[in-house]
């Protein structure tokens, strides 16, 4: 648990946080037993910018103009607080190359877009991974003192490790039936960056993406999840879990597949990019 709460007066600006994290990255020494920030960041009295929300809804495929936050939007609201923690000197994992590997979300009830909320974000801990070290970041949204939305995200930094980490066997599932084919434009990453504030260069320009080993810019993982959930639909009270398995290159063509509470985004019948479940909370 976090040792203390730090109450903020406004949402941090992402650009300087990303710059700070990039500059400090070469000096980080990641390890699962490293110290990590214990402070819980709290932002009370938050109100949603409706114009920015509408831009997010358009790029992700959600209906616009409704007095309801899409299930994934609180992640966008909490992301600057998470970046403040993960870009700091006391966070042991380098921000450059950090990969969002999974997220679980629980929404306890519908959330009006015109509501007032309190955000709280903390680093829950570090854990060994067969490819390096993984950090878990928890975000909570309260309305009137009650938790109405909460998430847990894992972020992986790859590094050499001598530890043998047992990885649970992944459940083998039959491929889901295809529902739609989506042709993704080259500018999806830039449009999502404007709406979300996440301007990581690997999502914006091919040259920046090549520095990290990608042939072209890649879509934000949270955009792929949001796009799937916009197509799938979510009840007011629900639980979602998703794993980000492979990057989506831009431009590109992907297949959205779904059945019952399961969904996935894949390259035709082959590589799966994101897979998840939606079920009542």
User: Per-residue pLDDT for the chain (281 aa), expressed as one digit of tens each?
Assistant: 457 999 999 999 998 999 999 999 999 999 999 999 999 999 999 999 999 999 999 999 999 989 999 999 999 999 999 999 999 999 999 998 899 999 999 999 999 999 999 999 999 999 999 989 999 999 999 999 999 999 999 999 998 876 656 655 556 678 899 999 999 999 999 999 999 998 888 898 888 888 888 899 999 999 999 999 999 999 999 999 999 999 999 999 999 999 999 999 999 768 999 999 999 98
| Residue 54 dihedral angles phi and psi, to the nearest 5° | -60, -40
Q: Are 274 and 243 in contact (CB under 8 A)?
A: yes
Among candidate residues 135, 190, 136, 176, the one with its CA nearest the CA of residue 159: 135
> What integer pLDDT is reported at residue 211 of this predicted model?
84
- Let me know the angle formed at the C-alpha of 227 by 224 and 230, rounded to the nearest 5 degrees: 150
Half-sphere exposure in the Cβ direction for 271 (13 Å, CA):
10
- DSSP 8-state symbol, 81: H
| Residue 78 dihedral angles phi and psi, to the nearest 5° | -85, -15
> What integer pLDDT is reported at residue 9 of this predicted model?
96
Which three-class secondary structure state does DSSP give residue 159?
Answer: coil
**Tokens at 106, concatenated:** 């629980």
Work out the burial of residue 109: count CB atoms within 10 Å of its CB; fewer than 13 is exposed, 13-18 middle, 19 or more buried: exposed
Contacts of 15 (CB under 8 A, 6+ apart): 199
> What integer pLDDT is reported at residue 167 of this predicted model?
58
In whole angstroms, what is the distance from residue 224 CA to residue 221 CA?
5
Q: In sequence order, what are the beta bridge partners of 238?
A: 107, 280
Q: Is the omega angle on the peptide bond into residue 29 within 30 degrees of 0, that is, cis?
A: no
Positive or negative: CA dihedral 109, 112, 113, 118:
negative
> What integer pLDDT is reported at residue 174 of this predicted model?
81
> What integer pLDDT is reported at residue 166 of this predicted model?
61
- 162: Cα separation from own chain's centroid: 29
**Tokens at 233, concatenated:** 């639909």
CB atoms within 10 A of CB 173: 10
> What integer pLDDT is reported at residue 165 of this predicted model?
62
> What integer pLDDT is reported at residue 188 of this predicted model?
95
What Å distances lie between residue 112 and 70, 74, 139, 148, 223, CA to CA?
A: 10, 12, 18, 11, 21
In whole angstroms, what is the distance from residue 114 CA to residue 184 CA?
31
Among candidate residues 54, 53, 88, 106, the one with its CA nearest the CA of residue 238: 106
- DSSP 8-state symbol, 48: -
pTM for this prediction: 0.93
- DSSP 8-state symbol, 249: B
């Amino acid at each position: 648990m976090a040792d203390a709460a730090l109450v903020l007066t406004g949402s941090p600006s992402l650009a300087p946080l990303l710059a700070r994290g990039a500059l400090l990255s070469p000096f980080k020494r990641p390890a699962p037993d490293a110290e990590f920030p214990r402070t819980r960041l709290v932002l009370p009295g938050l109100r949603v910018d409706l114009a920015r929300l509408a831009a997010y809804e358009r790029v992700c495929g959600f209906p616009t103009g409704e007095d309801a936050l899409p299930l994934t939007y609180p992640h966008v609201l909490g992301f600057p607080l998470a970046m403040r923690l993960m870009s700091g000197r006391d966070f042991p994992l380098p921000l450059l190359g950090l990969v969002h590997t999974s997220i679980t979300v629980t929404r306890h009830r519908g959330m009006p877009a015109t509501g007032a909320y309190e955000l709280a974000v903390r680093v829950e801990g570090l854990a060994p991974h067969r490819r390096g070290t993984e950090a878990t970041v928890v975000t909570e949204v309260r309305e009137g003192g009650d938790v109405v939305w909460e998430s847990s995200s894992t972020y992986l930094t790859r590094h050499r490790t001598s530890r043998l980490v047992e990885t649970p066997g992944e459940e083998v599932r039959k491929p889901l039936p295809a529902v739609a084919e989506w042709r993704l434009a080259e500018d999806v990453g830039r449009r999502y960056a404007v709406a979300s504030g996440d301007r990581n260069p690997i999502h914006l320009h091919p040259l920046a993406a090549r520095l990290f080993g990608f042939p072209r810019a890649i879509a934000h993982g949270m955009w792929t999840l949001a796009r799937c959930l916009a197509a799938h639909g979510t009840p007011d009270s629900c639980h979602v879990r998703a794993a980000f398995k492979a990057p989506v290159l831009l431009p590109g063509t992907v297949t959205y597949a779904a059945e019952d509470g399961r969904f996935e985004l894949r390259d035709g019948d082959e590589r799966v990019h994101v897979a998840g479940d939606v079920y009542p909370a």
